[in-house]
A and B are shown apart, each in its own frame.
Chain A
């Protein structure tokens, strides 16, 4: 018998031969996209950055009935404009990487707003499946959705899910695979604007098609983006056909004249009226009692109780961290100290010192990350995922304005109490580079776990708890003062707060776990190399006698201006690697744990103060450079150094009068 058709059957070609597919998850922020992603990919996740972008990416693999499906979790966005890096990354991925299916995850309880983004996905002409998530939350709000109607209106399959309980996930995957097998739909988009707009989109799209511009985006979508005056797409098109830009501008002006609104606003309004119509057709809202989560919401944003809960949340978070952290840290240090002394050692062979450096760097990393940072991240993720943190940001917005930031900046600032490194990466949630930079600058003064150890070890132990608290207060004042100065120096305008207030909900364990792990991992990658290499290097330098001359050069500053003992220069150089080396090294250098015998209270307080401020640690400088470039990292470091000298010098003189 002979075969009547070639080996590659049509179905198999569509199927990519081996059955390998790519799903991309797209949707608004906080619709449970991460939960869906976790449900699909389980533990096989790689969390990293988009190549060359400071935007997080998550990818994983789903093994489903013999198929291997790559799942990409796109950042949560509201639109395909160019408001943020996330939006640009997402649309470039969808248009250029051609995933087999885009699964649009929607929050069923905020259908209309979510459909605005769905409409844009349909406009892009991608193979699409809708995951109508959080059906349980919608039900609690008295919302029921007619799935069939929604499918008809959009021309896209819809699967209702409650991802957190895994409901509907199987059907979702089945549906998505079906969509993938059908391939890119060539039917005309079901999304239509008003005639006067549609005519012009069509005209422009035809022109784009006829000129054969070999753009990798669909012509209709490019036409819409050009009418919206999208800077990125304009750049792409103008390099190939400057006339097209002119044509688009003419058409856009015509639309603005008809509607007496800028064209981009007209298109947004049209999309929303469409979204509203579709949502109202498919949705039924019945009256419900005020839910518990809304009641809680009213308290967390109350004009008085709101502040109390905000203060309670921040204080609770820090208290939790240092209680759990202190406990774990002692246990861990004891356990690791049993293996080998962990204090810096400066005697013996170079190899011995090198080894000691490596080992103490490693221990430093472990005793920081595991006891202090991980519990902090867990609790922070709980507060974040539940939506309480947005309420705190809401209440604190006006206070944050004092340093030119808005409420959202509070989130990375709080992160800074654990460790500055992830906090500075966390600045990505801010909209402009200027705001990210201002927030990062403020963060470099936030007393992280290592600085706290310094304050506790030098001041609380030998001078008094009151003085330790005073140092915290001074630090806060410095953040405010320097924040204001930076605000004046860094050019540009502050944008205000635009933040969605999601409904409060019970946090998802899988999301909390994933978030904690992602943050911890990124911390490990930066902190451990810096710790291990840094501490080995510094100890060797000390042992071969390079540090002492350096310290002598610094002595006019350290001894003359700051009134510290001569050894302080060395302590501070060591402390660049990690702040609490200042404490550990002084114990090693003085050969005693009772530092009060070697330093006066004034010296202890000044050393702690200068130690907190004088330079961001090596890891922080590294992350600053990665996020903002070396120039900005250097500028921030110098600002810290100058601030430390001024504050330290003044403190020394004032304290000498008191103590």
Chain B
């Protein structure tokens, strides 16, 4: 099963399912214009991968994980449509097919740059569908533009469920997944041991938007609010640990 066909099915479920309702096998087979038997087979595979819940009678629905993945593809698809239409001046009727092909090979980085390049469009050109929000840790598109205009650098991976350490509580633990900042600041944080994948724990959060003190590699480091808010972690829930 290629990732392309997985992505196509995720997108189909995403489009066909309204308000989280299940989508029947026949609806999907109509959508792809293929035999219901091969749809059933595919849906079972999706269920196995944890992207969908599937029962033979009620049909399939996306899990939270599947929904996020589907939204990402839909976002790439619609951003590409905008690009093909607005920049390359391809007719509205032709952008969809082209975007369907391109969406699978668009990297996350390219998606992000495309979004910024197009000035954060919110609707696609052909059927005015909403472009899903990015999962980047920005409160607004303006913030995203501003951050990138400042020439900040970043290390680590943007992942789902990124949490900034300013949002953690004292005693919380996490693994550094993504840091954003000026080159010098980034270099300093790496030098002090905050490399991606490092386990940290929050020791103190000073009141009044004060600094956050984190424990890393046996030392303690205080990070000012501005710097701390750009350090993101995968939270290691205490109750999930031994």
- Write the residues of chain A forming the contact surface with B, with a CB cutoff of 8 angstroms: 78-79, 81, 83, 109-113, 116, 260-262, 264-265, 268-269, 272-273, 275-276, 301, 303, 306, 390, 393-395, 397-399, 401, 406-407, 431, 493-503
Contact = CB atoms under 8 A, between A and B. Distances in A.
Contact of A110 (B197, B206, B217): B217
B211 A407 contact: yes
A301 B191 contact: no
Mostly, the B contact residues are mixed
B37 interface: no
Contacts of A431: 184
A395 B190 contact: no
Contacts of B167: none
Nearest to B155: A265
Contacts of B182: 493, 495
Interface residues of B, number: 42
Interface string B209-242: 1110100111111111111100000000000000
Interface string B148-186: 001001011100000000000000000000000010111
A496 B207 contact: no
Given A109-B218, A110-B217, A261-B196, A497 B223 contact: yes
A112 B218 contact: yes
Contacts of B228: 496
B187 interface: yes
B53 interface: no
Interface in B188-209: 188-193, 195-198, 203-204, 206-209
A500 B210 contact: no
A348 B71 CA distance: 92
A261 B185 contact: no
Nearest to A272: B195
B221 A498 contact: yes
Contacts of B210: 394-395, 397-398
A303 B191 contact: no
The 9 A-B pairs at the shortest CB distance, nearest first, are namely A496-B224, A497-B224, A79-B191, A268-B190, A496-B227, A501-B220, A265-B155, A398-B210, A269-B195
Nearest to A231: B183
Contact of B206 (A79, A109, A390, A395): A395
A301 B221 CA distance: 13
Contacts of B192: 78, 113, 498, 500
Contacts of A493: 150, 182
A394 B213 contact: yes
A495 B182 CA distance: 9
Contacts of B187: 79, 81, 83, 264, 268
Contact of B204 (A109, A268, A301): A301
A262 B190 CA distance: 12
Nearest to A503: B220
A496 B185 contact: yes
A497 B184 contact: no
B156 A261 contact: yes
A503 B225 CA distance: 22
A394 B188 contact: no
A369 B196 CA distance: 50
Contact of B222 (A79, A306, A390): A390
